[in-house]
Amino acid sequence: MAFALSFIGGGNMARSLIGGLIARGTAPGSIIVSDPVASQRDALAKEYGVAVTDDNRVAVQDSPLVILAVKPQQMRDVASGIADVMPRDALIVSVAAGIRASDIQRWAQGRPVVRCMPNRPALQGCGMTALYATQDVAKDARRRAEDILAAVGATLWVDDEAHMDVVTAVSGSGPAYFFLLIEILEQTGIALGLSATVANRLAVETAYGAGTMAREASESPATLREQVTSKGGTTEAALKHLEAHEVRAIFADAIAAAARRSTELAQQFGTP
């Protein structure tokens, strides 16, 4: 039986994409997932009604679109292991962090590749995914790849693959920066006398509200910040303290470190 969509890897990101696609009307019977873990396969089949297998080659042999949702260190073996059985015009969509499209294309014997960098909120359907396509990816194939990732949140394209390392640092790693800030707000609230429950609720809901405002407002984040900073008030006192300790430079250096690490991983795992 031919499947319209094949997943190699049935972990969290694959589950999110499958759930989002089915919720938008994709037929479960058109999807097959290959995963080596029996319990993972059983859960996918039971929850979504998709076909499952433990053989990557069986999953891709007739599929026009293959999504590689495996760990970066597994990508070379997986891509080269299915290269001789995929249709010659199959499109590969990779959601593995740090692996260059050109390397995947080489391992997959020249198939067109779309490289994607989704982030963790995709698991809740509110992710942010950047996509990059090799030059041989046709316009309709780009559209198909974007439609798949749009099932779990917002999407955008980048024209220079080198920018994917910056995307990884800003968006891929970005949720952790916000989780750290929530953690700090919560812990400080507790240290200043709030209960753990109250401190957590205040920190989480404040982060949610601020993010919603930033997403929906026409003003820039800088303007929004200014609007909630009264001269001589409590917010100004906190921000002055942060600026005095060069919080901007600290964050900028941290994000640059993440971008450098993304480049290093691409070089490490892309070595022939």
pLDDT at 272 (0 to 100): 65
pLDDT at 2 (0 to 100): 66
Tell me: pLDDT of 11 over 80.
yes
Per-residue pLDDT tens digits for 40-64: 999 999 999 999 999 999 999 999 9
pLDDT at 244 (0 to 100): 97
pLDDT at 3 (0 to 100): 79
**Structure tokens that stand for 238 in this block:** 């906190």
E-only strand ranges, the chain: 5-8, 31-34, 51-53, 65-68, 91-94, 113-117, 127-133, 153-157
pLDDT at 270 (0 to 100): 82
Q: DSSP label at 90?
A: P
Please check whether residue 128 is in contact with residue 121, taking contact to mean a CB–CB distance below 8 angstroms: yes
Q: How far apart are CA 134 and CA 138, in angstroms?
A: 9
pLDDT-derived band at 98 (thresholds 50, 70, 90) equals: confident
**Which residue ranges form the domains of the chain, and what is each CATH number?**
5-167 (3.40.50.720), 174-264 (1.10.3730.10)
pLDDT-derived band at 123 (thresholds 50, 70, 90) equals: confident
Share of the chain above pLDDT 90, in %: 90
pLDDT at 269 (0 to 100): 86
Tell me: pLDDT of 242 over 90.
yes
Please check whether residue 64 is in contact with residue 4, taking contact to mean a CB–CB distance below 8 angstroms: yes
Mean pLDDT for all residues in the chain: 94
Per-residue pLDDT tens digits for 185-195: 999 999 999 99
Task: Give helix then strand counts, H and E, for the chain.
Answer: 12, 8
Return the half-sphere exposure (C-beta side, CA atoms, 13 A cut-off) of residue 253: 5
Tell me: pLDDT of 261 over 70.
yes
Q: Which residues pair with 153 in a beta bridge?
A: 127
pLDDT-derived band at 127 (thresholds 50, 70, 90) equals: very high
Q: Which residues pair with 51 in a beta bridge?
A: 32
Per-residue pLDDT tens digits for 132-169: 999 999 999 999 999 999 999 999 999 999 999 999 99
Tell me: pLDDT of 4 over 80.
yes
